[in-house]
Structure formats: C-alpha cells, structure tokens
Amino acid sequence: MDNPSLPAAIMGAATSVIALGVVLLKGLRSRRVMPREPHVNREFERETYMNDILCREQVLIFLHTIGHDVRFRVVGGRFYRSVETLHRYFRHVLRAILQLYKHMIREPDKDTPLEIRNSSRFNSYFKDCVGAIDGTHVRASVPIQIQGRFRGRKDGTTQNVLATATFDLKFPYVLAGWEGSAHDSRVLNDTLSRPRGLKIFEGKYYLGDAGYGVRKGIISPYHGVRYHLKEFSDNPPRNDKELFNLRHSSLRTSIERCFGVLKKRFRVLDAEPFWSFPTQVDVVLACCIIHNHIIGVDPLNSIMNNGLCGSPLANDSTSRRVQQSQWEVQEENREWV
C-alpha cells in the first residue's frame, strides 16, 4: 500500500533545496565583489623593455660614430659588440633617420623671415628672400677608376653637397652625391630640373654667390664690386652697389655658419669615410636631418654659439661680422640724423 505522506515529503525536500538555492544566489549577488588586479603579460613587458634598451643603444652607437668619427672596431670595444653587429645597427638607424627627411627638411615659409622683417638694414633690400644657397665639399671615398671626377678645388676626393639655409640656421633642402669636380651652377641646374628637387616660390628667392650667375629665384651680388666682409672692415661702402653687396654678404653668411656648425657637430664629414659611396651620401643627409632636429629642440647649445671658433670660418665670419655690425650701427645713426 502506497504511503500517502511520501509525495508530500518529496515536495517539501525539493522546495527546501530550491529555497536554499535562491538564498545562496541572492547572497552571491548582494555580496560585494572584490576587484582583481589586471593581468600582466610579463613576457610582453620584458620583451618591450629589452627592445627599448637595444634601440637606445643602437641610436647611441650611431651618434657616437658620426659625431666623433670612430671606427666600428673602436666602438665595438666600448659597447662590447661585434663589428658585424655594429654594421647592422648602423644601417638600421640610418634607414630610420632617412625616413624623417620629409618631416625635418622642409621648405621655408612664404612669409618674410623675422631676421629680415625686424631689421632696418635688410628689410628694404631682401623682404622677399627666404634663405641662402651654397655648396660645400665633404670628404668622399670612391673607387680609383672614378677618383678623377671627385677631385675638385679641395684636396683629395670629395662630394659636392648643395644646400639651402634659412636664417635660423636650418636646412630646408639638401642635395648630396655630386662629384667634387662639378661646378655649383651645374649642381643647381640638376636640382631645379628634378621632380622633387629644389622648389622656389613665385616671387621669392635665395641669396647665392657669383658662381650661380643671374637666374630666376637666385639673387647674386654685383660683379666687379667689393663683396666679402673683410674688404669692408677698414673701408666703408662708397656707393649703392657696394652697400648692397655688403648687406648681401652679411646675410648670406648664414649658410656658411650652417655648414660650419654641421661639420663641427659631425666630425665624420671631415674625415676619410669607410662606407660605400651610397652610404656616404645617406650619412650627409642624416647629419642634416639631425642638425635640424637639434636646432628645433635646443637652438642655444654650445656648438651653435661657438660653432665657428677655431675653424676657418671664424676669421671669415664671426670676427668680421662684429666689425661690420659696429660700422652699420654708426651708419644707421647717420641715416636717422
């Protein structure tokens, strides 16, 4: 005979279990959840940290090499790296810096530079001037069968580097790789004909020396008239043409200062290179890129202030510029009177 109380007992037990479950569920929901620490991928963090150290080391090796003209064997002894590793590091950093060219080597603004706009000496003559243009020679190492093309007016083999400079001593354009025997005007013709060569805004111009001749976008000094600052140190200008040449020469020294600071900052540019010639050309461009970056973040560093001390440009620019500026102060006083 069936027990009538059994179904009731089962239902009571089931009800108790469900009720206990509801109570527990409510308790879990009402209980305050303790926050857990975020998961840290230690392997990823360790790899990122080590890569950061290696990248810094590679940049340091590159800058040490071009700044002090140190051979890889010497650098390897200091950083405990093999010559093969240093070659690989150098190429890696060089490629990375060259990718910054379009960001650091940029065309000047169309506006009149502050150095001209704020100067009563220059504004009336050069209000549409955006900078100066010139060439410089950098030591080059090339195969013996083509060395004749790279022997110019300088001793040894060189490459002719054309550049423009703004008056805050930055390079808006650089073309490296021409043979040392190439004339500046020939290099200029080449860059003006290139699709991505030197572009000069309509109505604007650069200051160039007599070697560039008379052409659109380049203002050269009067021929057969005193020009260099040393020629005016004891004899002030006697006519309008001489005064123009003096002002032209005073302003164009900015590019001479640029080249002087560049070669003082990167000793490798004045030493016998030990890379292939394409790499030598890239090194020149990389030095100009870094130069522009340094001026952007630290324009008053010691090399910028004393970049010409002890160099051939010191007697040709710094000291004579002081004498010339003293004379011009007296001239301006006479003009105001």
Strands laid side by side in the 173-179 sheet = 173-179, 158-165, 129-139, 205-207, 218-219
Count of Cβ atoms closer than 10 Å to residue 158 Cβ: 21
For the chain, the straight-line distance linking the first and the last C-alpha, in angstroms and rounded, comes to 138
The alpha carbon of residue 121 and the mean position of all alpha carbons in its chain are separated, in whole angstroms, by 30
145 token code pair? 């069968």
Mean pLDDT value of segment 225-238: 85
Nearest to 65 by CA among 57, 96, 295, 169: 57
Tokens at 235, concatenated: 């004899």
pLDDT at position 327: 54
**CA angle 276-96-166, nearest 5°?**
90
**How many CA atoms does the CB half-sphere of 253 hold within 13 Å?**
22
pLDDT in tens, 294-329: 999 887 776 766 644 433 334 433 333 333 445 555
pLDDT at 39: 72
Name which residue leads in pLDDT, 322 or 230. Answer: 230
Cβ atoms of 258 and 303 closer than 8 Å = no
Higher pLDDT: 29 or 298? It is 298
Encode pLDDT of 171-223 as tens digits.
999 999 999 999 999 999 999 999 889 999 999 999 999 888 888 899 999 98
Instruction: Supply the pLDDT for residue 46.
Output: 76
Between residues 256 and 308, which one has the greater pLDDT?
256
| Mean pLDDT score, 137-159 | 90
